[in-house]
Amino acid sequence: MTKTNQPLALLIDDLRVPGDARNGKNIPVHAVVARNYADGIKLLAERKWDVLYLDHDLADFSGPEGRERKGIHILDWLEEFPQHLPGEIIIVSDNSSGVQLMRRVVNKLYGRGF
C-alpha cells in the first residue's frame, strides 16, 4: 500500500494511460507505468506490487532476433521468479486470444483450477 492507503499498482502497457476513463480498464491514476518488457521486469524485481495491470501486445521487439516481447513473456518471467508475483494480476489487453492464453498462466500462477 502507498502512504495514502492506495494499492501499489504497476501498469505494463505500451499505450494505456493510468486514470484515463476512455481506455475502459479502470487503471488507477497513481499506477506506475512501464512501457516495455525490460522496464516492466525491472520494476517487478524492485518491489512487491499489490496489483499488476498487464497488456498482451507491448510493441517491444527487443527479444532475440528482434522477436516481440509480450505480456505473456512477463508472466513466463513470473513463473520463473515467483517471489516477485504481485498480489493480483489484471489483464488489460484487447487481444482476445492473448487474454485467453494469459488467463491460463495467471490461473496457474495463483493455483486456481482450470
Higher pLDDT, 22 or 55: 55
pLDDT score of 102 more than 70:
yes
**Whose CA is closest to 11, among 26, 2, 67?**
26
Tell me: the pLDDT tens digits for 37-66?
Answer: 999 999 999 999 999 999 999 999 999 899
Q: Residues of the chain with pLDDT > 90: what percent?
A: 82
Retrieve residue 64's grid coordinates. Answer: 532475440
Nearest to 71 by CA among 45, 90, 47, 48: 90
What is the pLDDT at residue 1? 67
Predicted TM-score (pTM) of this structure: 0.92
pLDDT score recorded for residue 24: 84
Q: What is the pLDDT of residues 103-112, one digit of tens each?
A: 999 999 998 7
What is d(CA 84, CA 41) in angstroms, rounded to the nearest whole number? Answer: 9
Q: Residues 81-109: what's their mean pLDDT? A: 96
CATH entry 3.40.50 includes domain 9-109 = yes
Rounded CA-CA distance 81/67 in Å is 22
